[in-house]
């Protein structure tokens, strides 16, 4: 859920940039572009705020990822679960396929190691911000709905249907002229001071009790019905929902003000579009009389009223008096401006939740991994869970491991090791934040699949002259210090930024210097070839990849989704 909050915060920042551009260039288009364009262009901002998604990480998305990565590097410690008594809850499968257990423990559990179960997790307020945000969203939106429903209920209680036949005929002509087949209501109410429109699905125009001429009545209902015909009520509710989603951003209230202002100006433009000078003057007189009769008006969210305040009324009257010629050039320029702003909204972008580490380097969860994770630190972590390594072989509480997998939450491996002489099959499980959640045995199905992949390695006959023969196929991570002298000398001659496969006595050593931080690998071993997928885990500084692949099968390496071209060196 916190990823969704990141998305909304990022689009909130992007929307501020778009709003700033609109306000900055307003003097250039205010008198040139139509009021309708100036009204609907704010939908670009609204949809940018409503949709926390982008085809790719734009300007703001990349900024968020950079900040997140720096934060992870600076404060990048993972709160690990301490080893617990029931670490091998599924037991450990022996190489013969039997469930192993020690001493007096149950058949499905390893001996209690005496360390109590606990989690060293310090709650951080950033992890719970989404709850505060969501609570604010629900509270504010419910408040707006309740206020609106109360207002409508009180309004309907004091409404009386208009019975004047002449007025009903005028209103009917206005509705019919719009081309809509909706059944609309026409009422009067002595508690309101300005005519208004209510109802997205069952529209009704509510008038004041004040006396008005037929001309004023016509222009009033035409104005209100134009609001309904254009879907202004739906637009207003979209804005209200947007405000609730981004209540933490003060700029959304500026958005509400601008949309409300341009709603009235564009509606006036639509009503008077086909009127002559006399008609515009009559319409302006109607607005002036509406101002004179209005008093004590309170704004209700998502309501459409004729009178919105004296300052706005002055601007509306001024706009009526100005003649603006609609030319083809202006239409083209305004369309290009809308396209440019929409493109800018996409380019500004949103924080995009990264894909799995095999696909994308900036995996949001992996970036939280320790900055100083090294082979030594990894071995220390294994030791806390009863796993040790000696002479290239892994042991669990002194017993040699046949299959050892250190598995991330996305199913890729931190460490994968196969040793045909081992007696136990062990899996170390990690959460998305890379913390260890426990050690478990492997199921029979899992071991059978791995053994099938290894094929001849399982049936390989051990060299009689060596009691510590290596299996034919195995993939393990190494440090330079663990290499034999000949391979170590070959590594020294390797160039930075170039991939190498150094072969020596039936082992292929994959080497590359220039990895940007930590890495994980995932082997896939078939009957005829071995494939290794490498993934960045984030971090700073350049590090090296060094993997030992035992066996002479053709080796395919992929990194960041592309096949690696490597140089082969024999020593």
Per-residue pLDDT of the chain (571 residues; tens, 9 = 90+): 577 888 899 999 999 999 999 999 999 999 899 999 999 999 999 999 999 888 877 788 778 767 766 655 554 433 333 344 344 444 454 445 444 444 443 333 333 343 333 333 434 555 678 889 999 999 999 999 999 999 999 999 999 999 999 999 999 999 998 888 778 899 999 888 889 999 988 899 999 988 889 999 999 999 999 999 999 999 999 999 999 999 999 999 999 999 999 999 999 999 998 888 888 999 998 888 877 776 544 455 555 666 556 778 888 888 888 877 778 889 999 999 999 999 999 988 887 655 433 333 444 444 444 444 567 778 888 888 999 988 888 999 889 998 888 887 767 677 888 887 888 899 998 887 778 888 988 888 888 777 765 544 444 433 433 444 444 457 888 888 888 888 989 999 999 889 999 998 888 999 999 888 778 888 887 777 888 988 877 666 678 899 988 878 889 999 888 899 999 999 8
For the chain, what is the largest distance between any 2 Cα atoms, rounded to a whole number of angstroms? Answer: 114
Residue 317 sits at φ, ψ, to 5 deg, of -65, -40
Residues 531 and 483 in one domain: yes
Residues 432 and 500 in one domain: no
Please report the pLDDT score of residue 180 as a whole number.
Answer: 81
Residues 487 and 439 in one domain: no
Please report the pLDDT score of residue 272 as a whole number.
Answer: 92
Q: How far is the CA of 484 from the CAs of 468, 479, 568, in angstroms?
A: 16, 11, 18
Answer whether residue 478 is part of any domain: yes
Instruction: Give the distance, in angstroms, between the CA of residue 505 and the centroid of all CA atoms in the same chain.
Output: 49
Residues 478 and 434 in one domain: no
Please report the pLDDT score of residue 295 as a whole number.
Answer: 55
Answer whether residue 415 is part of any domain: yes
Residues 481 and 442 in one domain: no
Q: Tokens 């192993």 identify what position?
A: 100
Please report the pLDDT score of residue 538 as a whole number.
Answer: 64
Answer whether residue 107 is part of any domain: no
Residues 488 and 446 in one domain: no
Residues 446 and 408 in one domain: yes
Answer whether residue 137 is part of any domain: no
Six-digit token pair at 499?
């991939």
Q: How far is the CA of 253 from the CAs of 24, 179, 388, in angstroms?
A: 17, 34, 60
Answer whether residue 396 is part of any domain: yes
Please report the pLDDT score of residue 413 as a whole number.
Answer: 73
Please report the pLDDT score of residue 515 as a whole number.
Answer: 83
How buried is residue 86: exposed, middle or buried, by Cβ count under 10 Å (0-12/13-18/19+)? middle
Residues 510 and 548 in one domain: yes
- In angstroms, the CA 225 to CA 243 distance is 26
Count of structural domains, the chain: 2
Answer whether residue 523 is part of any domain: yes
pTM of this prediction exceeds 0.85: no
Residues 515 and 431 in one domain: no
Residues 480 and 553 in one domain: yes
Residue 81: CB atoms within 10 Å: 17
Residues 496 and 554 in one domain: yes
- In angstroms, the CA 160 to CA 156 distance is 8
Answer whether residue 145 is part of any domain: no
Answer whether residue 53 is part of any domain: no
- In angstroms, the CA 532 to CA 558 distance is 6
Q: How many residues does the chain have?
A: 571
Residues 448 and 492 in one domain: no
Please report the pLDDT score of residue 313 as a whole number.
Answer: 82
Domain boundary among 395, 420, 452: 452
Please report the pLDDT score of residue 55 as a whole number.
Answer: 81
Q: Residue 396: which domain range?
A: 373-452
């Amino acid at each position: 859920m916190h990823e969704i909050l990141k998305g909304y915060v990022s689009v909130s920042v992007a929307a501020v940039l778009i709003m700033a551009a609109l306000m900055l260039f307003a003097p250039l288009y205010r008198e040139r572009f139509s009021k309708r364009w100036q009204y609907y262009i704010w939908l670009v901002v609204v949809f940018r705020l409503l949709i926390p998604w982008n085809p790719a990480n734009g300007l703001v998305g990349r900024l968020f990822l950079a900040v997140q990565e720096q934060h992870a590097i600076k404060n990048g410690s993972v709160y690990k679960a301490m080893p617990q008594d029931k670490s091998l809850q599924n037991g450990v499968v022996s190489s013969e396929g039997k469930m192993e257990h020690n001493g007096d423990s149950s058949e499905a559990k390893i001996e209690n190691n005496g360390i109590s179960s606990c989690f060293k997790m310090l709650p951080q307020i950033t992890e719970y911000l989404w709850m505060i945000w969501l609570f604010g969203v629900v509270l504010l939106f419910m408040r707006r709905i309740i206020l609106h429903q109360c207002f409508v209920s009180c309004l309907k209680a004091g409404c009386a249907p208009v019975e004047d036949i002449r007025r009903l005929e005028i209103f009917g002509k206005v509705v019919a002229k719009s081309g809509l087949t909706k059944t609309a209501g026409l009422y009067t109410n002595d508690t309101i001071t300005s005519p208004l429109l209510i109802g997205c699905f069952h529209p009704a125009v509510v008038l004041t009790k004040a006396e008005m001429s037929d001309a004023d009545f016509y222009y009033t209902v035409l104005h209100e019905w134009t609001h309904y015909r254009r879907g202004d009520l739906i637009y207003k509710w979209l804005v209200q929902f947007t405000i609730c989603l981004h209540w933490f951003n003060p700029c959304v209230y500026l958005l509400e003000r601008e949309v409300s202002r341009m709603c009235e100006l564009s509606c006036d433009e639509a009503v008077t579009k086909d009127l002559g000078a006399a008609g515009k003057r009559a319409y302006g007189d109607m607005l002036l009389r509406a101002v004179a009769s209005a008093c004590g008006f309170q704004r209700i969210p998502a309501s459409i009223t004729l009178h919105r305040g004296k300052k706005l009324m002055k601007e509306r009257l001024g706009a009526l008096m100005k003649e603006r010629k609609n030319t083809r050039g202006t239409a083209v320029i305004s369309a290009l401006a809308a396209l440019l702003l929409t493109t800018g909204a996409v380019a500004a972008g949103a924080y995009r939740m990264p894909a799995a580490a095999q696909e994308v380097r900036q995996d949001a969860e992996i970036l939280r991994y320790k900055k100083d994770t090294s082979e030594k630190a990894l071995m220390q972590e294994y030791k806390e869970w009863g796993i040790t390594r000696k002479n290239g072989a892994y042991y669990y509480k002194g017993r040699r491991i046949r299959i050892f997998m250190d598995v991330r939450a996305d199913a890729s491996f931190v460490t994968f090791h196969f040793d045909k002489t081992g007696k136990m099959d062990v899996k170390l499980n990690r959460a998305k934040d890379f913390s260890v959640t426990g050690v478990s045995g492997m199921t029979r199905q899992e071991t059978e699949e791995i053994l099938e992949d290894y094929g001849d390695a399982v049936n390989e006959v051990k060299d009689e002259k060596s009691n510590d023969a290596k299996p034919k196929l195995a993939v393990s991570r190494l440090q330079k210090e663990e290499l034999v002298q000949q391979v170590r000398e070959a590594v020294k001659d390797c160039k930075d930024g170039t991939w190498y496969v150094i072969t020596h006595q039936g082992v292929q050593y994959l080497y590359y210097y220039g990895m940007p931080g930590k890495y994980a690998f995932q082997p896939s071993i078939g009957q005829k070839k071995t494939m290794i997928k490498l993934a960045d885990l984030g971090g700073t500084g350049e590090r090296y990849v060094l993997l030992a692949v035992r066996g002479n099968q053709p080796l395919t390496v992929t990194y960041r989704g592309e096949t690696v071209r490597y140089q082969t060196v024999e020593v």
